[in-house]
């Protein structure tokens, strides 16, 4: 594979598995997007610290974000992992027959992946959401008899109540349908691996038996650059600061999130509108990309602060890790990103949406934990941190220490391995 993934090759060779293979269905990033961001750990973590010898990643609707030369493409990510990317519709039918085209194309993909299960002697199917990834995983489970794990990292009821947005509106265009699919998929899974205790309780509310749930923290996806102590990270160069549009400003507020309504990035902009009144040199950085960008830019213009907000898009993870120290983190609804900024020593103003957030953010100690929608409180918290360097320094150290205690890879993977052993059996290698 490309040189930029050389360290993943080395990690793979150092961590032999137990003769098991896994299919991992995920639609967050295409392989090209991942390489652009250099977030290789996001894929490598699929091996669960070497528990699986081989992983075949699957992006069933990859043509939404990447150009494909054929209907199904299998690519090499590392010595231990391939990635299958497929077109949502590949038969060239007229527009009015697109639903049929999608159905036929996904049926073809299902046939292909059934062959992969057989050829690779797959032991487990994992999917990262209870919507389309989960549905495809369920179809594959029924075809092959292989156990299915759903990784649940969101409370879809809370997200809808907060934003009125559906998770996949083009595929599941009504709230009633979305709820039915989520409930159905979660109940049919062999294990629901929730990202926090909050999402675990959400799964149980959907009818999943508690003994078929567990908590797998997403912080295992964190790259080495984010684990490095803030003081050991190389400072941004003058050229990089100019490239990011921050110049000499030292009062930086940062939100790392997909620019989608469900992530509530507009709350960060509203909070910053208060900060901007008190701090003429403050700048808000939005690291991420998504379909909500135009609306967010309009909001910034309406509030008269567009010239002080930087839409950074998808950043290289090494650059992002070097940008984080010294920032104030605004977290309306961020999970992995909050863990990354916390490891960078950023005190946070965050909404109390999930237990994983409350694990990191303690009011008066590591930042401020606020009620959902309290953007004024978020702005006031950021103002206090920007106005009191001693307070910032004290909270920064406390946040880094707390984050370290919650991101120990050995502990996280040992917990996963025990859960997989209960599901597959500790001595089971693979299906015949």
CA 300 vs. chain centroid, Å, equals 25
CB 151 within 8 A of CB 195: yes
- The CATH homologous superfamily for domain 229-406 is Glycogen Phosphorylase B; (3.40.50.2000)
What is each CA distance from 124 to 152, 207, 318, 376, in whole angstroms?
Answer: 16, 22, 32, 46
Q: Which pLDDT belongs to residue 9? A: 42
**Cβ contacts of residue 341 below 8 Å, gap of 6+?**
254, 256, 324, 327, 329, 331, 348
- The token pair at 254 is 């940062």
CB 70 within 8 A of CB 95: no
Q: Which pLDDT belongs to residue 14? A: 44
Q: What secondary structure does DSSP assign to 82-121, as a single string?
A: EEEEE-S--S---GGGHHHHHHHHHHHHHHHHHHHHHHTT
Q: Which pLDDT belongs to residue 17? A: 52
Q: Which pLDDT belongs to residue 350? A: 97
Domain 3-222+408-424 fold is: Rossmann fold (3.40.50)
**Cβ contacts of residue 401 below 8 Å, gap of 6+?**
none
Q: Which pLDDT belongs to residue 180? A: 97
Q: Which pLDDT belongs to residue 37? A: 73
CB 78 within 8 A of CB 108: no
Q: CB burial class (10 A; 0-12, 13-18, 19+) of residue 380?
A: middle
Rounded Cα distance, 323 and 243, in Å: 12
Q: Quick one: DSSP state of residue 50?
A: T
Residue range(s) in the chain whose domain bears CATH number 3.40.50.2000:
3-222+408-424, 229-406
| pTM, full prediction | 0.80
Rounded Cα distance, 251 and 308, in Å: 11
Q: Which pLDDT belongs to residue 245? A: 93
Q: Bridge-partner residues for 56, per DSSP? A: 23, 82
CB 214 within 8 A of CB 205: no
Q: Which pLDDT belongs to residue 38? A: 75
Q: Which pLDDT belongs to residue 93? A: 86
Averaged pLDDT, groups of 10, the chain, 432 residues long:
41 56 92 81 89 96 86 94 93 86 94 96 96 97 97 91 87 94 98 95 97 91 89 95 91 95 95 97 95 96 97 92 97 90 97 92 97 97 97 97 88 93 73 40
Angle between helices 265-278 and 293-302 (to 10 degrees): 30
Rounded Cα distance, 382 and 268, in Å: 10
CB 347 within 8 A of CB 263: no
Whether the CA torsion 160, 162, 167, 171 is positive or negative: it is: positive
Whether the CA torsion 107, 112, 115, 120 is positive or negative: it is: negative
């Amino acid at each position: 594979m490309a040189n930029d993934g050389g360290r993943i090759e080395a990690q793979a060779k150092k961590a032999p598995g137990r003769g098991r293979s896994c299919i991992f269905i995920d639609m967050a990033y295409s392989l090209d997007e991942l390489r652009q961001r250099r977030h290789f750990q996001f894929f490598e973590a699929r091996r669960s610290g070497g528990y699986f010898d081989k992983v075949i990643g699957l992006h069933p609707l990859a043509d939404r974000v990447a150009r494909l030369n054929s209907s199904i493409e299998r690519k090499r990510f590392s010595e231990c992992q391939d990635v299958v990317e497929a077109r949502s519709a590949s038969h060239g039918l007229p527009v009015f027959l697109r639903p049929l085209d999608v159905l036929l194309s996904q049926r073809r993909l299902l046939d292909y992946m059934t062959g992969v299960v057989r050829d690779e002697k797959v032991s487990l199917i994992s999917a990262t959401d209870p919507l389309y990834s989960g549905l495809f995983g369920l179809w594959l489970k029924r075809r092959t008899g292989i156990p299915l794990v759903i990784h649940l990292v969101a409370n879809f009821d809370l997200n809808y109540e907060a934003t009125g947005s559906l998770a996949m509106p083009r595929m599941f265009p009504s709230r009633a349908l979305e709820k039915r699919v989520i409930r159905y998929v979660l109940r049919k899974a062999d294990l629901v691996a929730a990202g926090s205790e909050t999402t675990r309780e959400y799964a149980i509310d959907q009818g999943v038996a508690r003994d078929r749930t567990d908590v797998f923290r997403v912080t295992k996806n964190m790259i080495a650059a984010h684990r490095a102590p803030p003081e050991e990270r190389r400072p941004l160069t003058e050229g990089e600061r100019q490239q990011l549009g921050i110049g000499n400003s030292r009062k930086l507020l940062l939100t790392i999130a997909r620019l989608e309504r469900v992530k509530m990035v507009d709350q960060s902009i509203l909070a910053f509108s208060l900060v901007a009144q008190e701090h003429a040199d403050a700048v808000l950085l939005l690291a991420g990309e998504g379909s909500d960008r135009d609306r967010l830019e309009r909001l910034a213009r309406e509030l008269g602060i567009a010239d002080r907000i930087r839409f950074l898009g998808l950043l290289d993870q090494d650059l992002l890790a070097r940008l984080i120290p010294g920032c104030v983190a605004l977290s309306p609804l961020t999970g992995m990103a909050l863990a990354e900024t916390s490891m960078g020593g950023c005190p946070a103003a965050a909404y109390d949406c999930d237990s994983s957030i409350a694990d990191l953010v303690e009011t008066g100690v590591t930042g401020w934990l606020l009620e959902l929608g309290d953007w004024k409180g978020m702005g006031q918290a950021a103002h206090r941190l920007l106005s009191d360097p001693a307070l910032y320094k004290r909270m920064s150290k406390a946040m880094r220490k707390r984050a370290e205690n919650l991101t120990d890879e050995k502990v996280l993977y040992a917990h996963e391995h025990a859960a997989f052993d209960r599901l597959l059996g500790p001595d089971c290698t693979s299906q015949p």
